[in-house]
Structure 1
Amino acid sequence: MQSTPMPATRDQAKARARQIRAEHAGRGAAISHAEALEKVAAELGYRDWNTAAARLSNLPDVPLQVGDRVAGTYLKQPFAGRVLGVREVHGGASFELTLQFDAPVDVVSFDSFSAFRSRVTATIGSDGVSASRTSDGRPHLEVARA
């Protein structure tokens, strides 16, 4: 059985309430949206929905946090490392990451030349993929929690 992550924002909590309503309706026991919100509040450990709504953030989801262990590809080269910095840009539509690689990554594909990077800063979307692309269309950076 796979568990779903607990809601961290009001939007996620409201989505969870809709899911609870659908589950109850599927069992033939319809409940109101307000009752579903109260159930979400209880799941999160709050006494009622008003308290939960006041405590939950309404900020956009941040895909990574400072200190997270990450892995992925940078300029088509695999890496593992740690997030040193995260900055929201474009109103939460994307995030600027600073990564420290565990081992330097050679970002040049020529046999006769090398250029190693151990720390990079790049902008990613909430999916962990950069909009910037190499000449063959691959994302500059693809990153996820390790």
Structure 2
Amino acid sequence: MPATSTCLNSRCRTSVEGTMAKCPNCGGGMRTPRRVRIAGGFLLACGAFLAGMMGWLYYALSPTMLHPGTRIGGTTFNGTAEQARTILMLFATIAAFGAGSMFYGLWMLFTGRRSIALMLVVLALAVAIGGMCWWTMQVVPET
């Protein structure tokens, strides 16, 4: 399958076979497979960092947070069990967003194309993070 370039102008959206820098229809810039692959690599790296850091935080903090009031490893979580579960769920939601970003970045790297369906899944995960942040703010009081 030959490479396809797509116009970046939202009103034009012309697709042509091959790699082109300028749109033959409107003269705007074109999204080439190379640019999509570069964006995919960046998305993969950011998603891996996010999922890795959240996974590490979950692993490091969950023993202490799941036993509130108990001294484990030199630290004590003074919140309630519900607060601990909510915070850990926020960590898991952010890690899932990172994993979704990694998967979409891999898709872009290997295919050189964007996928609206995968983009919507990652955006839904971003909305889930917003919802979990709101819920966490309701459960965890200000100090």
- The TM-score with structure 2 as length reference comes to 0.25
Higher RCO, 1 vs 2 (CA within 8 Å, ≥6 residues apart)? 2
Bigger strand fraction: 1
- The TM-score with structure 1 as length reference comes to 0.25
